[in-house]
Amino acid sequence: MNSIFFEPLALKNKTVPNRFLAQAMEGNDGEKGGPSERTIDRYRELAKGGWGITVIEATSVWETSLARVNGLILNKKNLNSFKRLIDELRRRNSEGLVFIQLTHSGERSGKFSEIVTLTPGKAGPRYLSSDEIERIKDAFVEAALLAVEAGADGIDFKMCHGYFCGEMLRPANTRDDKWGGGLANRTRFFREALAEIKACLKDTAGFIMGSRVSMYEGIRGGCGTAGRDEIIEDLSEMLDVVRCMDDLGMDFVNVSAGIPALTGAITRPTESSKYLVYHQLRYAKTVKDMIQKEKRSLKVIGSAYSTFKEDAPVIMEEMLGKSYVDLCGFGRQIFADPLMPEKLRRGEKVHWCLLCSGCSKLMAAQMNDGCIIYNPYYREANRNFKA
């Protein structure tokens, strides 16, 4: 197996033991917002795979912004169960780093939660006031500090896939208060939240912070367009967002694309849309080129490597070998075979994701979700599935 996969990577004052990153993947199996036994079992299995970084799935900063009915929530009440989850991960993968992805689902929240929006005049979701946005920011800060207490190495401040912080960034956010309009206002939320988190961290200055972004959302006025009425891809503004992350002293950017609920083929291509994955490779390279050219230090994580199935190692080798990314992120593959990195290291047979969309289908139906091909529990759930 190519040794480049197992080259360590310095990240802040820590070392990532290899270049495999387990992306945030919602399993929708929490219990009252805390990780359940099933959640812990899933991550325990993943830990055996020896991933360089494991990102704990989208975890809400408060109770009324959930996209999944059994989604995770990081609050004081659930702190001990998060501590236990992280302990279990460390026990089986002592060298790998653990991040928690913090989110607010905004207009992508489920009906059982509260669907809110930033854009005035939209029918349906409740329009958030400026003060409410301030409170959401407080909740991100509080959750980040709880992530430190839970023992995580870092956080992924989720700004991708059309959730609250992604909606905030896009040109179509035309709010006329300090949260909308020009890019300085649209980046205010994460700039201020990050500054506040940093100010509170003090003696935990080694805590790693980064963000996952959708470089192009594929909607009019979305991230990766040049204005509220534009649909054509233009990455200039999103590159400025990445520059801003670097200026703030963030440590990584996880490059993704699309909005799963609206333009899902962009985020997670399937067999019939698999060539869309090359856009994601290009986005990661474009970001890395800018970082290298401007001598910036953010590390770049690429996404959607499951799409390549058994060719993933070849693509990984090329992307890492040419320094187009620092880490390669796998989503659906972590469900198909949580042991993948360790199996590749040992030269063992890997169960490759078949891009069947079974996990997405279960998730959309608000069921526990996982791999319906290789995992008997989800195979059975799929058999009993009624759309």
Ligand X SMILES: Cc1cc2nc3c(=O)[nH]c(=O)nc-3n(C[C@H](O)[C@H](O)[C@H](O)COP(=O)(O)O)c2cc1C
Letter string b/e over residues 228-254, b meaning 16 or more CB atoms within 10 A of that residue's CB: eeeeebebebbbebbebbbebebbbbb
| Nearest CA-CA partner of 300 in 276, 273, 329 | 329
| Nearest CA-CA partner of 197 in 139, 255, 239, 252 | 139
Is 93 a binding residue for ligand X by CB under 6 A? The answer is no
Task: Kindly tell me which of 171 and 302 has the beta carbon lying closer to ligand X.
Answer: 302
Instruction: Give min distance, CB of 305 to ligand X, in A.
Output: 5
Question: Segment near ligand X (CB under 6 A), from 45-53, 144-152, 154-162, 229-237?
Answer: 154-162
Out of 11, 21, 86, 160, point to the residue binding ligand X (CB under 6 A): 160
Structure tokens at 25: 């993947």
Out of 40, 219, 363, 381, point to the residue binding ligand X (CB under 6 A): 363
Question: Segment near ligand X (CB under 6 A), from 118-126, 202-210, 223-231, 356-364?
Answer: 356-364
Is 33 a binding residue for ligand X by CB under 6 A? The answer is no
Is 212 a binding residue for ligand X by CB under 6 A? The answer is yes
Classified as helix, coil or strand, 94 is: coil
Question: Segment near ligand X (CB under 6 A), from 17-25, 106-114, 185-193, 203-211?
Answer: 17-25
Out of 22, 26, 34, 285, point to the residue binding ligand X (CB under 6 A): 26
Instruction: Give min distance, CB of 344 to ligand X, in A.
Output: 15
CA 17 to chain centre: 20
| Nearest CA-CA partner of 367 in 386, 348, 350, 343 | 386
Residue recorded with tokens 């989850």: 85
The answer to whether the CB of 225 falls within 8 A of the CB of 171 is yes
Instruction: Report 268-327 residues binding ligand X (CB under 6 A).
Output: 268, 303-307
Is 267 a binding residue for ligand X by CB under 6 A? The answer is yes
Instruction: Give min distance, CB of 343 to ligand X, in A.
Output: 16
Q: What are phi and psi of 152, to 5 degrees?
A: -70, 155
**CA triplet 16, 17, 20: central angle to 5 degrees?**
80
Structure tokens at 140: 């991100």
Is 57 a binding residue for ligand X by CB under 6 A? The answer is yes
Radius of gyration of the chain (CA): 19
Report the 10 Å Cβ neighbour count for 94: 10
Residue recorded with tokens 């929530």: 73
Question: Segment near ligand X (CB under 6 A), from 135-143, 156-164, 189-197, 218-226?
Answer: 156-164
Task: Kindly tell me which of 93 and 256 has the beta carbon lying closer to ligand X.
Answer: 256
Is 24 a binding residue for ligand X by CB under 6 A? The answer is yes
Q: Residue 136, by phi and psi: left (phi above 0), alpha (psi -120 to 50) or beta?
A: alpha
Give the residue nearest to ligand X (CB).
Answer: 331
Out of 54, 65, 75, 101, point to the residue binding ligand X (CB under 6 A): 101
Is 67 a binding residue for ligand X by CB under 6 A? The answer is no
Structure tokens at 248: 């703030």
| Nearest CA-CA partner of 11 in 86, 95, 74 | 95
Is 105 a binding residue for ligand X by CB under 6 A? The answer is no
Query: Which parts of this chain interact with ligand X (CB under 6 A)?
Result: 23-26, 57-58, 101, 158, 160-161, 212, 256, 267-268, 303-307, 330-333, 359-360, 363, 369
